[in-house]
Copies of this chain bind each other. A is one copy, B any other.
Amino acid sequence: MTTKTVIAAHSRLDARRRAFLDAASIVFLEKGYANATLGDIIEKSGGSRQTLYALFGGKQGLFEAIIAERNAEIFRPLRADDLHNRPPEDVLVEIGTRFLHRVLTPEALGAFRLVLAEGPAMKELSERFWVVGPGRTVTAFAGYLEELADRGALRLQDASLAARQFQGMLLGNFQIDCMLGVRELPSPGEVETFVKSAVARFLDGCRAR
């Protein structure tokens, strides 16, 4: 078996894989895990049942694969190289805005809801989700706040606590309201206003006395 064979084989399998993942992503997000049927997914993907089982082992395997992928996409690190020597206000506003724009999309909210719904039944799934998701971002915030505190730009007793408060403030009711479907997604303008206000209040709160 030559290298060429392997590559060709891989690219063919990978194309099928992609088709399944894309189809499953749509169907699961639309109907939820339990109400999504493999028939729906197979039809939409253009593939066959047999191949699905060969690639993912079954419904749950497919589900976990799409959650992992969505997750990597949604929570991939926020680039912040361009913000190096800017004042904390600017940095937090900028990062906060990017964060919210990432999280407040139909796909991200849908993925979150799926994990919440199936969480009790798939424990390690929610753990993996948390580690690369909310856990990672809050750690990143905490790191930056710690740095500010070390430089004396802020007074903090507990950077991790502050980071959790900050992240909560940002997500605030946006996430809940949007997941519940009681409001549409905020416009970029609304996000910006909200973040600026939150950052100002937060930083002033950290500087008082």
Residues on A lying within 8 angstroms of B by beta carbon are: 30-35, 113, 115-121, 123, 126-127, 129-130, 134-135, 138, 157-158, 161-162, 164-165, 167-173, 176-177, 179-182, 194, 197-198, 200-209
Contact = CB atoms under 8 A, between A and B. Distances in A.
The prevalent SS among residues of A at the interface is: helix
Contacts of A171: 168
Contacts of A117: 32, 113, 116-118
B180 A119 contact: yes
A200 B205 contact: yes
A116 B110 CA distance: 10
Contacts of A170: 168
Total copies of this chain within the assembly: 2
A32 B122 CA distance: 12
Nearest to A201: B205
19 contacts: A31-B120, A33-B34, A34-B34, A34-B35, A35-B121, A119-B181, A127-B180, A127-B182, A135-B182, A162-B201, A165-B169, A165-B198, A165-B201, A167-B173, A168-B173, A202-B205, A204-B204, A204-B208, A205-B205
Contact of A118 (B32, B129, B130, B201): B32
B202 A32 contact: no
A196 B47 CA distance: 56
B157 A197 contact: yes
